[in-house]
Chains A and B, each alone.
Chain A
Amino acid sequence: MYEQVFLLEKRDSEYQDLAGYRSGGGYSALSSTLRDSTPEQLIELVKEAKLRGRGGAGFPTGLKWSFVPKGGTSAKWLLCNADEGEPGTFKDRIIMEQTPHLLLEGMILAAYAIGAAKAYIYIRGEYVIAIRRLEREIQACLQAGLLGKNILGSGFDLDIYLHRGAGAYICGEETALIESLEGNRGQPRFKPPFPAVSGFYKGPTVINNVETLACVPPIVQRGADWFRSIGSEKCPGPKLYCLSGHVKRPGLYELPMGISLRELVEQHAGGTHSGKKIKAVIPGGISAALLPEPALDIAMDFDALSAAGTMLGSAGVIVMDESTCMVRVAHRIIEFFHHESCGKCTPCREGLAWIEQMLRRIEDSEAQSGDLESMERLYGNIEGNTFCLLGDGAVMALRGVVKNFRHEFIERIQQGARAA
């Protein structure tokens, strides 16, 4: 039986405040690390655990931390990415609402590892409950000597500040997040230099997702072997999955990384709420290509999903039953990406506008034969030619729908031709 570590099942505020979190062993990972380990040893431990970033790309966390230059005079920064904008995703919100200290303890550990004295949580502006709770609990930590100067008598100092976002999906992209935090419009920056070398105000900067940071205290407490014993060899650890759409039991599920998508949807989430057949499932937020029903026997991990032409992304699992119109789905997805395009580069800004118009015409049965092919040529030109991955995500999502449900698009076009 899988034992949960994120403690999310303990509702009713048990772990929402400092006393409750401490009574369950909270902050013992921090005190033992500050007492017994060097920053280098902590980085080694996270490397050994093979923790991979939960923000979407699956980048090895220990490796990312080790890129930060040791010593030096410029200030180092830790930024927590709590902007959670990928449609279908709500795991970070629930971590911050239910166990805010798991994130805070993870941040203090990460800041210790990289030598940061200040850290910011860039949090979605809409997450008002989480914002209030984190504000309150940061104060509690300051009073308890867990934040501020000389944490637990170790000589290590850290302040954590909340930075409230204001409704821009692109600010979840790490370089756009830095721009936004510097008071500019949230538009991506060119890489390299990578943030670990030159990031926030040109200082070495680590950006990690909320769930990634929340994995750190349990790794310290239970060890790298324990973490690696869950999930698969290359993608170990516990994982949060967000289930939504046409499922009987939508919600957040903590299960091992690499669980089969079919088991997740059919057993844990109870299959469709209507009892109808499943038509397709998006495995990792709407940027991820959907999988048609016969392809659901696949491991929910970074490598298996990437090999299948999609991605684990944010693990936002959206289930669609057989009543779903795929032309409508494609149109809605592209409307989203077009709306959120930051406007910096032409293929994304203009290309998505064109595709959105073409999809509207197809949906309204106003398209002509050949339009589907023109649309495919157009998105082929966007892919790989955009400044950041938003444009690619849009194309990946659309390609998945068209590839698997091409006949629905053709039917619509033919309907239009008959009506004309």
Chain B
Amino acid sequence: MKDQTLKQQITEVATRYPAPRSAVMPALHLAQAHYGYLTQEAMAEVAEYLHLPRVTVLEIATFYSLFHTRPVGKYHLQLCTNLSCMLLGAERLQRQLEQQLHIRCGETTADGRFTLTAVECLGACEMAPVMQLNDDYCGHLNEQRLAEMLQTLQEEPNRKPENGPPSS
């Protein structure tokens, strides 16, 4: 079912730009926060509210790495593997995560709870090695901290991310 709040939010955000087309990224962020990922319906709604062809919306959604056109786990672990983190052991941490979650980077666990992604620089090299757990940055990682974090997440099925997504 279509959601009126989403429609309102998208219509409002479109007024900030000279043309509604500019609002396609904020609209996709809003739709993704609303539906969890960019389903076909979500993208169709964005297209409708901004008066854009669906193919345009799909094209934008697939160009950018933060937009997900497939479901992601409840906990999305995004480990930075760029140079500063690599120098401080990110590759070891990546192997550890893959072993403990029994998945490779780019995959989601069978129960749908964890998605693991190797990402490029997160812009937080002062706390390398660093990863993002949903929206939150977790820095100064080592094997022990990572093992403890995973254990907490695995034991606490209802842990909510600390903050909701930003509104724009």
User: Is A68's CB within 8 Å of the partner chain B?
Assistant: no
Is B23 within 8 A of A183, CB to CB? Answer: yes
User: Is A135's CB within 8 Å of the partner chain B?
Assistant: yes
> Using an 8 Å CB-CB cutoff, how does the interface string of B104-146 with A read, 1 for contact, 0 for none?
0000000000000000111111111000100111000000000
User: Is A89's CB within 8 Å of the partner chain B?
Assistant: yes
Is B168 within 8 A of A162, CB to CB? Answer: yes
Q: Which residues of B contact A340 (CB under 8 A)?
A: 120
- In this complex, how many residues of chain B approach chain A with their Cβ under 8 Å: the count is 45
Q: Which residues of A contact B137 (CB under 8 A)?
A: 129
Is B84 within 8 A of A88, CB to CB? Answer: yes
CA distance A244 to B137 in the complex (A): 17
> Using an 8 Å CB-CB cutoff, how does the interface string of B56-67 with A read, 1 for contact, 0 for none?
100110011111
CA distance A333 to B86 in the complex (A): 11
Residue of A164, A186, A324, A329 with most chain B CB atoms under a 10 A cut-off: A164
Q: Which residues of B contact A162 (CB under 8 A)?
A: 168
> Using an 8 Å CB-CB cutoff, how does the interface string of A112-133 with B read, 1 for contact, 0 for none?
0000000000001111110110
CA distance A169 to B59 in the complex (A): 17
State which size class the interface on A falls in: 35 or more
Q: Which residues of B contact A75 (CB under 8 A)?
A: 18
Query: A88-B84, A135-B167, A185-B59 given as contacts; is B25 within 8 A of A166 (CB)?
Result: yes
A128 touches which of B23, B64, B120, B166 (Cβ 8 Å)? B166
Report A47-93 residues with CB < 8 Å from chain B CB. 75, 84-90, 92-93
Is A183 within 8 A of B88, CB to CB? Answer: no
Report B35-78 residues with CB < 8 Å from chain A CB. 52, 56, 59-60, 63-67
Q: For residue A84, which residue of chain B has the nearest CB?
A: B123
| Chain B nearest CB, measured from A233 CB (Å) | 31
Number of A-B contacts (CB under 8 A): 146
CA distance A336 to B65 in the complex (A): 14
> Using an 8 Å CB-CB cutoff, how does the interface string of B81-118 with A read, 1 for contact, 0 for none?
11110111000000000000000000000000000000
Q: Which residues of B contact A251 (CB under 8 A)?
A: 126
Report A173-189 residues with CB < 8 Å from chain B CB. 180-186
B84 touches which of A93, A131, A244 (Cβ 8 Å)? A244
B88 touches which of A92, A93, A245 (Cβ 8 Å)? A245
User: Is A224's CB within 8 Å of the partner chain B?
Assistant: no
User: Is B79's CB within 8 Å of the partner chain A?
Assistant: no
Is A163 within 8 A of B65, CB to CB? Answer: no
User: Is A243's CB within 8 Å of the partner chain B?
Assistant: yes
User: Is A107's CB within 8 Å of the partner chain B?
Assistant: no
Is A186 within 8 A of B123, CB to CB? Answer: no
Is A244 within 8 A of B123, CB to CB? Answer: no
Is B65 within 8 A of A167, CB to CB? Answer: yes
User: Is A168's CB within 8 Å of the partner chain B?
Assistant: yes
Q: Which residues of B contact A135 (CB under 8 A)?
A: 166-168
User: Is B7's CB within 8 Å of the partner chain A?
Assistant: no
User: Is B28's CB within 8 Å of the partner chain A?
Assistant: yes
User: Is B22's CB within 8 Å of the partner chain A?
Assistant: yes
CA distance A191 to B160 in the complex (A): 47
Q: Which residues of A contact B158 (CB under 8 A)?
A: none
Is B126 within 8 A of A252, CB to CB? Answer: yes
Q: What would 6 more interface pairs be, CB under 8 Å, given A86-B121, A132-B166?
A: A88-B121, A90-B123, A128-B136, A168-B63, A182-B21, A250-B126
Q: List 7 A-B contacts (CB under 8 A).
A: A126-B123, A127-B123, A135-B167, A164-B25, A164-B166, A243-B126, A250-B126
